[in-house]
Structures are given as C-alpha cells and as structure tokens.
Structure 1
Amino acid sequence: MRKDYNKTPQELVVDFWDKFFVKKPGKITRIFPRSLYATLLQPSQPSGASSVRNAADSYETAANECREKVKRIVRECNRTNEKFTDPDFDIEFGMDRARNCLYGLIRPEPPLGRDRLRDDRSSSSSSSSSASGDDDEGQSTYSPMSVHRVDWIFESPQFTKDGYSSSDIKQGGLGDCWWLAAVATIANRRDLMTKICVARDEDVGVYGFVFHRDGEWVSVVVDDNLYLHTPDFDRNVMVAVYDPSGRKARDHRRLYQTGSKALYFSKCDDKDETWLPLLEKAFAKVHGDFDAISGGFAGEGVEDLTGGVSTTVFPNRLLRKDRFWKELVNADGDFVFSCGVDPTMEREKSGLTLGHAYSILKATEEVDEEGNRVRLVQIRNPYGEHAWDGTGEWTGPWSDGSKEWTAYWLRKLNHSFGDDGVFWMSFQDMLDNFQRIHRTRLFDDKWTIVQQWASVNVGWVAGYLNTKFIIDVKKAGTVVIVLSQLDSRYFKGLEGQYIFALHFMLQEVGGNGDHICRVRPADDRQERSVSCEIDLEPGRYEVLPKVTARRFLSKSTVEDVVKDLAGINSDKLRQVGMLYDLAHSKGGIIDEDEVLLQKREEKKKKAQEREKKRRERAKRNRQRFPTTGRFEGRITMGGPPRRSRTAAAASSSTTSTSTEAGDDGKDEDEDDKFEDAVAEKASKTEVTATKDNSKKKNDDEKKKDNTSAVATGDPVKRESGKKDVGGAAAAPKKDEENVVVEDKKETEEEKEEEERKAEVETTMSDSESSEGEGSDSEEDDRHSDDYIRYEDGQVPWNAVCVLGLRVYAKDPEVTVSLAEPKNAEEGASLVVDSEPVGATM
C-alpha cells in the first residue's frame, strides 16, 4: 500500500489500526439458521443463561435419559425382531461411502512415515487437542477392511470378565492414547466405570454410555458393529476366491477375524471381552468420528469420563514435592493422576515412548530391608505391550528385570515381570522423566456446580476484559473455579482461524487490584480451560478474564468451510454443523442468527409504521380540505391539464420508492414538507375560487335587478319576460347540476386513484422490506463517516471467544453472574499491581 505523506506518522498508525480490525465483530453461532429448521420440531431442552445444580443431579439426568433410550430401542427391536443398527453412526453402511464415521470435515493428508507424530500441532493447527497425548505412530489415514457384529467376531462375547481393569486395555490403530491412559487411570475404580457404562442389552446389541462435555453430562447409544483389520474372504484380493466347500472361508475367519486381535481400533487383552472397543466407539460417536479423538491430553480425557477438573503440574516447577506426594498417595479417592512425555528430536528416553500418555495406577511408600523408606509409583502404557521398536516401558531403576527387584520387593509389591505395559519407577525418576503430570479432582454429591457462559470480543492488544464474572459465596470452604471455552473437538473443521488462550484473576469485589490469585495456562498448548482451587470465606468475588488470540490465515474460516462442503459432503456437514449449533446454543452466548432476525423484523415494522403514517396524513388532508378535489377539477378547465390515473399512480410509486430508500427521520420530514406544500396550494386555490364565486354572484344579482325592472315597465312583455327569466334561471340550474355531477365523478375518480396509490405503495413497501432489507443498511454504511474500505485480500481481525465460568463448591447457595463495567475507568484493566501486563501474562 502506498504511503500518504500528507498525513503525520501518528495518523498513518491510526489509519493502519482502523483498517486492521473488522468494523462489526461477530461469531457464527448457527451453521444452520432458523429458517432451515422451520419444518422441524423444536428442541425440548432450552438452555438457560445460568445453571445451578448438584454435581450428582447433573449426572443422574443424563444417566436416566440414557437408560430410557436403551429401553425404547430394545422394545422396538423386539417388535421388529432384528438387532439394533444405529442410524446416526452406521459404520457398516459407511464402509464403502464417504467414511464419515472415520473422518471429519477436513480429510487428512497421506501419512509421511511411521515416525511422524499425528498431532504435534504445537501452534499452527492446534485446536483443543495437542501434542502431549499424541500417538507416536502418527496414523493420519485409517484402513479398516471389514465391519461385523460382536456375536460374529467373538466366540463367547462378554462385556466384562471379572469387572474392569487397566490391564484389559490395549491401544489399536488410532492415536487416542491420551484417552486410553485416562480410561486406565480410572479402570480400577469400579464406582467410576459403572457411572460411564449405564445400560446395555447384549442380545439386541445396544449399549448406552454417558460423557461429560462443556460442563454438562451427555448420553449416547451405539450398536455392536466394530471395525476389523482384515477383509472378508470373498473380498480379499490376496487369496484365492474359489472355495466350493467353504473351508478356506472358515479358516480365514478363524485366523484373521475372530477375537480381540481382529479389531482395528482398541481392544481388551482378553480374546472375548468387549467393553473397551464399545466404549471407544461411543466416545468417537459423541465427537462425530474416530479421527476427532486422535491426539489430546490425558487430563482432559479424565475430565470427559468423570466430570472432574484437571490441572497440569510441571515437575520442574514443583515448590514442595512432599505436598504433591501426599496428594499422589491420597487414599480417599479425591484425585486421580496421569502423565505424559513430550515429543523431542530423540526417539526414546530410557525406554519411554515420546509424545505419549501414560496412566499412574498407584503410588506407595514402603520400607526396604534396611529400614529405609522408598517412594515408588506404578505406571502403565496404554499399548499394553512394547512397541514395534522395543520402546514403551521404563528401562531404568525398578524396571522389569532390574537389580532393585529382590525377592523381598517382588513379594511386597506383588509384582511379576512381563510384556504387559506395566512398570514401576521411583518418585524422583518419574519427576525427572515425565514433562507433565495431570491431576484431576473428582466431585461427589456434596458439591454444587454453577456456571455462566458469555461471548466476548478479543482485541489484538492483550489485557483483562471489562466483562467479568461475580461469584457470591455464602459458606466458607474449598472452591474450584474453572474458566473454559467450548471444546472444539466436537466440531473439528469449524474452529475457524483463531486459537485462544485463557487467563483470569480472582479478587474481592472492590479489592482495588489486590488479587487473591492469578491463573494462566500451563503452556501454549493447554487451551481448553484453566482453573484454580482455593479456600474462600463468605463474600462477593469477581473473576476478571483475559483472553489472548493467535490467528492462522492458512486455516479456513467457518463460512468458507460451509460454502465449500455444502455441495461436496453434505451428510458430514449436517452432522458436524449440528454439533456446532448445539455447542453454541448455551444461555449467555449471543445468538447472531437471532440478532439478524430481530433486525429484519425491526426494518419490516418500521416500513409498516411509515406506511401507516402516510395513510393517516392523506386521510387528515382529505378531511381538512374536503372541497379541494372540486376546485382542482374546475381549475383544470382553465389551468394546466390534470394528470391521468396512470401518471398519478406512477408518480405515487416513485415517491414511495424514493421515500423508502432514506432513513426514517428524513422520510417523515420530506413527507411533512410535501403535505404542507399541497395543503398550502389547496388553501390558495380555495381562496381564489371563493373570490370568483362572490364576483359571479354579484353579477348575477345585477342581471336579476335589470330583468325585474324591464318586467314592471311593460306589461305586454311580462309573460315574455317571465319566460325569459325562466329560461335564464333554468340555465344556471342546469350548469349547477352538471357541476355537481362532474364534482361527484371527479371525487369518485380521486378516491379510486387514492386507493390505487395506497395499493401501489403497500406493494412497493412489502417488496422492499422482503427483498432489499440488507441494501438500506449497506448503503447507509457506505455513506457513514466510519465506513472502512479494506484493501483487496486483506482479512481484518475478528476474534470472538465463547467463555464459560464454572464454580464448584460445597455451598448449595453459591451463585455466579455476569457483570458489565459501569464506566470506562472501571473497564480499563490493562494494569495489574500498578505494572503493565507482561508479554506472557
């Protein structure tokens, strides 16, 4: 762009920033506007602005809903005498089609090699899933070859054998080790697992589960179709098809398509156990597809399974290790832990797989033979075995076969060596070799949850927002505060170009900057939420959020994805688009589609009001000057010719159209001036006509006097005079009758003309309000003082983030609300502790 040297440098900088930001910031809140739902039933669960509920009540609502779904499906399947096939996630039907159950909206590129990390999306393409929990295989394309039901795959299928166990879990061909590590973390807790798997009918083939999403529990049901590695015998091009006895087909099925080993994705270690692949399928369905659950943090996985709140601990930042150790060995079940190894340029680190998530199964402090206390941690790899290159398990002290394992320790810890993914290591070695540890607090029915959602504009300059949340605490105790954004994993491909990082500051209302705590992300890849746990006394507290945004122009905007895929893969767009709409339907989030509808209704209402005012003014003028039409009719005999009905209607239509194009105030002023001019002209015409009538009346009287004088002077001519007088009198009478008829005719014509005019104006008004509602606004914007003309190819800044604040407390009366600043000074929060906010805070 050419620099304008007629402006000062400061003016140039101001002009740059004026054009840098979009004039009307906003966010797409509905992929499918209300007009597309016009013929559909309305949803039965309207969202509220703020929800308050007991933690257990939220779960029970979703669990009961899930049980009812399963009952209805079982009843219908018994009626039709067929197994359940999920119409919303039919992987069998989708095998030869678009494979929408495998992939999302944006299809992956071909794999670059075995060492490629699937989701090491540290910056440019990350959504809420990031590198720590990525599968090191990096499989970006999936190639299951067949689909069959549980009773076809397994010889003696059982949902569980001897309950759930972390030793059951084996990862398959999907990069969801972060989620499997979370499952393994809680698998030994029967109370937690039974809360997830709430209902099933193995004969019908229907299974119901519940998961936690954006502060609420949601239910999902699936059928028992599963993906297999190997194609069916008659579709396998690698073997001979000719098999008249069927023996080859039976052998093929027994060797390659039977038992857990045949499954393409995750599986149980037991050859006939089915709970894990079905649970994984349900988790994929609730997110839209299998690819949506590839890559993430193990702590987020525990949150999705338990409804807890996770915080990330970096071992190199620990202040008091003893305090953390006490939490790790906590026996009352308030916390569960998992850990991860970040990816580096090295391939392995003492046997641990890099870019991989692990489960912490147990922490214990024991005494050795010499009386020394030893802190040990039991950890598990979701693979359930060593990787193809021998990595996966710790190879340092306390690893399988190491010198530390004496007969004393083998008996004390009941440990046995094996390729099962389970290993022990010292507490200090764990802190030294795992870059992050996820600590998840669990909540029972003693806790109350309150939450509030809002959408905020995020500027390019970082600072605390002038929109804040108010927390009212009635009872002293521990409070967990979570600031989160919508989990974009549920609508992958529609995240947009912006990635947001969340921060917040907690202080008492009126605290004048004396904050209680400040919270920021553990690193730039932790995007879904930030939280703090703190003891609070009764009182009012405010949470000041801060949101930083990064934009990546290489990513597609939401509107571009919709336009591009509407005609290419409409089925997948419908599925993900509805998940997007559901996520943005929470109370407190500005519904942009509703705003547009309100604007259109206001424009239509204003147009109707203008039309009503014009009709009322025309009516008042007719009542005020009832004889205007007659005199105008007489004037036309000697004055300019009257306009025809067609010309009058065309003129009326032109006036109506030009009036509609302006703003309301201008229209009314112009109409008033026009009506005043017409009234003034009519008044002058009436005065002139009245003078002419008076003059004519005097002349008639003079003629009458002359006639009378002639009649009295000559009696012979009296009769003749009377006759003449009668003839003279008859002529004016006839003229008056003609005038009345003419005036009546003209009045009727003008009434018809007025009705035609009103009909034309109404038609034009309705047409403009329905077809050109946006044109008026756009035209006004172009002529407004603050209209900005953007350069070709320029994409202005338009960052809008949806925020949610959740508060957990053992106080049933705790509340949270949204507060706007009272004035500009109150909203200016760019300074904290009397110092400017730093580049990373």
Structure 2
Amino acid sequence: MPKNKNKKLQNLKDVGLDGLKDIATSFSKMKFKDSDQKTPTTATGPRKMRRGEKEIKESFDPVPKEQAGLLVTGALEEALAECKAKVERIARQCRAANRKFRDVEFDLEKDQWLCRYGLFGNEEDEPDAAVKRVTEIFDKPVFFGPDGPNASDVRQGDLGDCWFLAALSAVSTVPGLVEKFCVARDEEVGVYGFIFFRDCYWQPVIIDDLLFWSPPKFDELTLSEKQLYHNERHVYHQVVEKSGKGLKYARSGVVGETWVPLIEKAYAKFHGDYAALDGGFLSDGIEDLTGAVATSFQMSDLLSPDRFWTHELQHADLKTRLFGVSLNIDEARSQVAQPTVQGLFPAHAYSVLRARECNGKRFVVVRNPWGESEWTGAWGDGSKEWKGEWLGILKDLDHEFGDDGQFVMEYSDFLEVFGQVDRATLFDASWVMSSLWLRIPPQPSFHPWTYGDAFYYFSLDKASSVVVVLSQTDHRYFQKLNGEYPWWLLDFVVFKKGSPESIGMSGISLGSQRSVSCELYLEAGDYVVLPRVEPRSRGSVSVGEDDNEWDIRKLSRMLTERAKSRSFAANYDLSQEIDYLPITPEVAFAIGLDSGNSEEDAGSDAEDETEEPDKKEDDTNDAEGKENAANSTGDADSDSGGLDFSPDDGPKSHPLFLGLRVYTQDGAVATVSGGVKEG
C-alpha cells in the first residue's frame, strides 16, 4: 500500500474545516506535476487588500463599454491577416490562370464522401448529391443583400444543424458582427475566407463557392418530369434552380444571397465534414462564431424569473448576451412519432431575438431556423390576443405576421414551455483573456468523481469583473476517435488563496458538454480553481465474469459509497478501496495551497520525507487487517456474495485536455498557472 494512501485514508474520516491545517500538512508531500506553460499576459503583482475591503460584489453585472463583438486576442489579428492574405493570393493566381477557385482540400464535387460523411462513410446509403457553383444557381448572386445579414434570412436544409443555424440567427441580431468573421472574398473568382474560434484560438478557413444541390439537372429529368415544365429548360431553370430552394443544406430566404450556405460550408470544413454538424448546442455555435463564453442550464433551475428577465434577457437587447432555447419532451412516452407543443418541436434549437416589455406585459421574440413552423399558442401570429391597442406593439417588437419562423410569446409561456436555455456571453474590446491547458492522464473506469486531479491558480493584479471558464477541447472534428468516453462531465469551485471557504462554483456540463463557467467580481489577489472531472461513457460495459452490462458512472459511485460505509469500522482495512474515495474541494484546496506556495515550490516532485516502513512489518499489518476485517466486520465480499472490482477493471478513459480561461475587464490582467496530480 503506497505511503501517501495511508495519509489519505486517515484524513478522509474528518474533512471538516477545523481539520484543514492537519489535512494540508499531511497532503503536502503528494506528488504533483506543475505545468511549465505560462500565460502570455503579464501582471504587475497582486495589490495588498486594505482592511475592510469586500472580496466579492453581490452580483456580476459589468456595464458594456461598447458594442460587443469578436473576442479580441493576440491571435485574432494574426488570423484576420492570414485569412485576407490567402484570399488575395488565391484570387490573384486564379485570375492569372483564367480559372475559378476549386478547393482541393474540400472538393464537394470530386471528393463528395470526404466532405459529406464522417469516419464511417455513407452509413444511410444516400445517393450522391449534385454540386453547383453559386453562379449556376443564381443569375446575380450576392454574398449579402442590400439589407445585410438578418436573422430572418436563415433557412435550415437537410442537415441536423439547427443548433448552428439558430446560433447564426442569434449572432445576426448584433449589427456588424457577422461581417467580422466573414473576413474576405472575391465573388468573381469564387473564393471566400472566414475565421472561427476553437480552443482559445482564432483559425482561418478558406472555401470555394461549390454547394450541394438537391434537384436533378434538367437533362436528368424523366420525360414526365420535363412535361411539368413544358419541356422548357429555361422554365425549369427559373422555377426550380434560380429560387435557391434546391440547395441541399442551409440557404438564405432572400433569393440570390449566399452568406448562409457559404458560412455553413466553411463551418463544415472547419470540422471535417457536413456530418460533423449533426447535433449540437446553440451556445457552442455562438462561441465558435464570436469567441463568446457558452453555458447551458435548465429553465427549472432559475431561482428568480424576474432577475433572469432584467439581468440576462435584457442583455440580449444590449447584445452582450445571446440565447437559444429548446423543449424537453419524452417522445417515447408520448407515443407520437413527432410530438409538438402548440407548433413547437422537441430536440430542436430556437434562437431568442428580443425581449420587450409593452403595456405592462413581457414578451419574447423567438425564431425557428427552419423559417417556418411557429408557436400557435397565445400571442402567436393571428391569435385572438392581437386586437385593439395590442396591434400597436408589433412595431416595438419588430415583428410581422407570416409563416417565416419568427413568433412572439408572453414571458410566462416562454418559461413554462421551454426546458433548456443555451446562453452565450459576448465580449467587447474592454475584456482580455488569459488561459492555460493541461493534460489529465487517463483514468481507470471506476475512478471516483473527485477534486484534486488537477488544480489551477490565477493572480489578479487589480479588481475586476471576472469570467472563469473550464473547458475540454472541442472534439467535434474527431469525436469518433473518442471510443468509450466521447465526453467528460466538468465542474469546478473557486477559492481565494488563504481562505478555506469557496467563493464561487460553476454549474455542471450536462447540457453543453464543452465548458462550464462562473461569473464573479474579484479584488486583486491570488485564487485557486479546483476542477472535478468525470468521464462519461457512451454506454455500458461488461465487468468481470458477470454477463450483465454495467453503467460505469453508476458503478463507480456505488463503489465509492460502499467504501465510505465500510470506513466506519475501526478494524477494516481500506487499502484495496482507497482509490474509490473522493477528495472534497476543501481537502483538494489544502493540497493545492500547500503545493503552490511559490513559483519555485509549485508542483514540485519532492518525495515524502516520511521513512518507508519495513516491508515485512507492513505486509504483516496488511494481512492482519484483512483477516480482522473479514472475521470481525462481516466483509460483504466473503459473507454476502458481493462483487469486487479493481480500479483497473474495464476500459480506461482517454486523456483529457482541460483548459482554464480567465476573462478580465478594464485593464485588469490575470496570470494563470496550474498542475496535475501524478500517480
């Protein structure tokens, strides 16, 4: 039994705050590996707090300094410059060769399988789609129409990327924002450049103007089909092709506009193929488009709907927060193939466009990215509520009746009908980001859900509103390689260094699985962030000789509780179960505090100075402990036929690449460091 496990076992019996000093001492020699990475920003050092200063304001409510937009980082200017240079070079070379641009890296026509399908190819045995350039589809194609990008322009096609298109609709409500990530283009040559945000970095994406097309070419029609168009090619061309409605995937509702399908294509290339966009969360889409911070929560978790209206939805008007919503319905329980709630569909993303209070009532304007199929309840288009003075508020709501996917709901119905909220916080130029990524080694299947596997520190040089974000890498591109554990559950707590009481905590990543965050107002000083991570299995596995399949997360928690219950027996040896016992945030804080007192000491590999017990004596004690446990306490394994598991049973998780981002405002700078536990 490793010597540091003896200490862990002893201290897990008392994790109260009164015992923190002893716990910190006993854990001081546990081995941690500190990261050599340093935050690119620099700080002038923490300012000493004056007596009587408050550490935290009651609420996080930063005032926007200007129009929110793309997150400004050092990599943003580099990505913009690289994107513009590539587009200019390609356009120049294509003109010299008298050719339009064809992207050999993402050639929809000549390499359709690579562009359309994922790792396992055409699993649904779909026929090949036709491919056309935008100049073959429209007589006079334009990237943006005369009114620019508008949320009402977005129309979903034959791809399950409602979450991304709802995100695009939401982003389109911020004036000038779409134009910022649509960086450069030469429409005559057919080359377009965009930037997207992934894992703290802006990355350029270059595409051509080829798009998938659903209707067949005129010459591929049957004789009877040609007769529908009087056997006239130009009639078919005008009725079917030039409307743009034949685009297989997303399109604009404005004839001739191309920004919607081309952004979708660039985003598909960014993630490897169109199939990679099937399913997701609206807030993640907004994060990728703007560098915003994404989070998801259940509507039932709202403590104060009034505060949500005034402090969050109203920020949608200030364009510092963007929202999406979806319904939670058990389709199997309803026994309906496609159940709806007064015209609204479950498992489908809707974007929130506006929130307004008119004549003493609160209204929310919502949009379906399909561009059709709207809410048919109270205040839906043409409902009985729209009469008299209420017709006058349509202008205030910026709403018109029509089957265009946009609809109005009263706030009370909005709260009752929708189950999940996706929220993205946008940043203006007054914010800066500091970050650090760490590799968390693979964990055994039954590793407890615990704190202490990793720790982060950040120093704040002056008081600021702060957004702390813990995230795993965006694995949408390579999610098929993640095997048994496609994602991890994340959460974290925040401590001020020197205080054993946590000052903030995140939610848990049950909705959007990529990241969790916490918003605080902090004074200058040093802070500790303690993550807790748990691999989430794609399914169940068989363990031992039992043919039954076990849910790994459920089994892990059962083993933890069994170890806790057995630990009360004074003569029971927990040496074989110590790995199932989780570390509380207070204990993990004590570990991190003691191992990170200075840059020189942080994460040192110092060995435990306690002398190694004589091996023979240690073996004897272990044997005696096991015998006493079995004979005196009625060990469940020997007396009741219980199952024993080793932490090494079952598949191990993939390593987790875990990043901490700290956003600060008004010139405040955070310096981030951290480390992971060894062994």
- TM-score where L is the length of structure 2: 0.69
Residue identity matched to 2:116:
L
Secondary structure of the structure 2 residue equivalent to 1:329: helix
Counterpart CA distance in 1 for 2:340 and 2:669 is: 51
Which residue is 2:652 aligned to?
Answer: 797
Choose which of 227, 247, 250 in structure 2 pairs with 1:263: 247
Counterpart CA distance in 2 for 1:104 and 1:409 is: 50
Q: Report the structure, 1 or 2, having the larger helix content.
A: 1
Q: Does 1:101 align with 2:93?
A: no
Secondary structure of the structure 1 residue equivalent to 2:139: coil
Residue identity matched to 1:490:
Y
Choose which of 72, 89, 97 in structure 2 pairs with 1:55: 72
Residue identity matched to 1:106:
F
| CA pair 151-451 structure 1, distance change in 2 beyond 3 A | same
Choose which of 366, 376, 392 in structure 2 pairs with 1:395: 376
| CA pair 92-398 structure 1, distance change in 2 beyond 3 A | same
Preserved CA contact (<8 Å) 2:218 2:226: no
Counterpart CA distance in 2 for 1:185 and 1:231 is: 33
Preserved CA contact (<8 Å) 2:466 2:662: yes
Alpha-carbon shift at residue 383 of structure 1 (Å): 0.4
What are the residue-to-residue correspondences of 1:310-349 with 2, within 5 Å?
310-326=294-310, 327-330=312-315, 331-345=317-331, 346=334, 347-349=339-341
Counterpart CA distance in 2 for 1:93 and 1:83 is: 15
Count of matched residue pairs? 493
Preserved CA contact (<8 Å) 1:155 1:259: no
Secondary structure of the structure 2 residue equivalent to 1:178: helix
Secondary structure of the structure 2 residue equivalent to 1:420: coil
CA deviation profile, 1:271-307 (whole Å, cap 9, x unmatched): 2111101111001010000010111111111111111
Which residue is 2:288 aligned to?
Answer: 304
CA deviation profile, 1:426-453 (whole Å, cap 9, x unmatched): 1111010010122211112211111101
Preserved CA contact (<8 Å) 1:364 1:375: yes
Preserved CA contact (<8 Å) 2:535 2:653: no
Alpha-carbon shift at residue 481 of structure 1 (Å): 0.6
Secondary structure of the structure 2 residue equivalent to 1:167: helix
Which residue is 1:445 aligned to?
Answer: 429
Which residue is 2:139 aligned to?
Answer: 155
Counterpart CA distance in 1 for 2:537 and 2:509 is: 20
Q: Does 1:411 align with 2:397?
A: no
Q: Does 1:365 align with 2:353?
A: no
Counterpart CA distance in 1 for 2:151 and 2:127 is: 27
Secondary structure of the structure 2 residue equivalent to 1:328: helix
Preserved CA contact (<8 Å) 1:169 1:180: yes
Counterpart CA distance in 1 for 2:326 and 2:122 is: 25
Counterpart CA distance in 2 for 1:150 and 1:533 is: 44
Residue identity matched to 1:92:
E
Alpha-carbon shift at residue 799 of structure 1 (Å): 4.2
Q: Does 1:91 align with 2:108?
A: yes
Secondary structure of the structure 2 residue equivalent to 1:208: strand
Choose which of 346, 361, 374 in structure 2 pairs with 1:354: 346
Which residue is 2:493 aligned to?
Answer: 505
CA deviation profile, 1:238-272 (whole Å, cap 9, x unmatched): 348999xx964444444433331121111111121
Secondary structure of the structure 2 residue equivalent to 1:419: coil
Which residue is 2:503 aligned to?
Answer: 516
Counterpart CA distance in 2 for 1:820 and 1:551 is: 22
Preserved CA contact (<8 Å) 1:481 1:807: yes
Alpha-carbon shift at residue 232 of structure 1 (Å): 2.1
What are the residue-to-residue correspondences of 1:292-691 with 2, within 5 Å?
292-326=276-310, 327-330=312-315, 331-345=317-331, 346=334, 347-367=339-359, 373-386=360-373, 393-414=374-395, 415-457=399-441, 458-459=443-444, 460-498=447-485, 499-512=487-500, 514-521=501-508, 523=510, 525-552=511-538
Counterpart CA distance in 2 for 1:142 and 1:481 is: 44
Q: Does 1:224 align with 2:209?
A: yes
Counterpart CA distance in 2 for 1:553 and 1:442 is: 35
Which residue is 2:8 aligned to?
Answer: none
The percentage of aligned residue pairs carrying the same residue is 40
Alpha-carbon shift at residue 812 of structure 1 (Å): 4.4
Preserved CA contact (<8 Å) 2:372 2:403: yes
Q: Does 1:70 align with 2:87?
A: yes
Counterpart CA distance in 1 for 2:538 and 2:407 is: 41
Higher relative contact order (CA 8 A, sep 6+): 2
Which residue is 1:807 aligned to?
Answer: 662
Q: Which moved more, 1:346-355 or 1:220-229?
A: 346-355
Choose which of 177, 200, 221 in structure 1 pairs with 2:185: 200
Counterpart CA distance in 2 for 1:501 and 1:453 is: 17
Counterpart CA distance in 1 for 2:179 and 2:653 is: 44
Larger radius of gyration: 1
- Alignment root-mean-square deviation, CA: 2.7
Residue identity matched to 2:343:
G
Alpha-carbon shift at residue 817 of structure 1 (Å): 0.5
| CA pair 461-251 structure 1, distance change in 2 beyond 3 A | same
Choose which of 798, 807, 816 in structure 1 pairs with 2:672: 816
Counterpart CA distance in 2 for 1:252 and 1:242 is: 8
Secondary structure of the structure 2 residue equivalent to 1:338: strand
| CA pair 311-819 structure 1, distance change in 2 beyond 3 A | same
Q: Does 1:145 align with 2:1?
A: no
Runs of 4+ in structure 1 displaced over 6 angstroms? 240-243
Secondary structure of the structure 2 residue equivalent to 1:284: helix
| CA pair 242-425 structure 1, distance change in 2 beyond 3 A | closer
| CA pair 801-103 structure 1, distance change in 2 beyond 3 A | same
Counterpart CA distance in 2 for 1:407 and 1:81 is: 62
Listed as ranges, the gaps of 5+ residues in structure 1 are: 1-46, 111-140, 368-372, 387-392, 556-789, 828-841
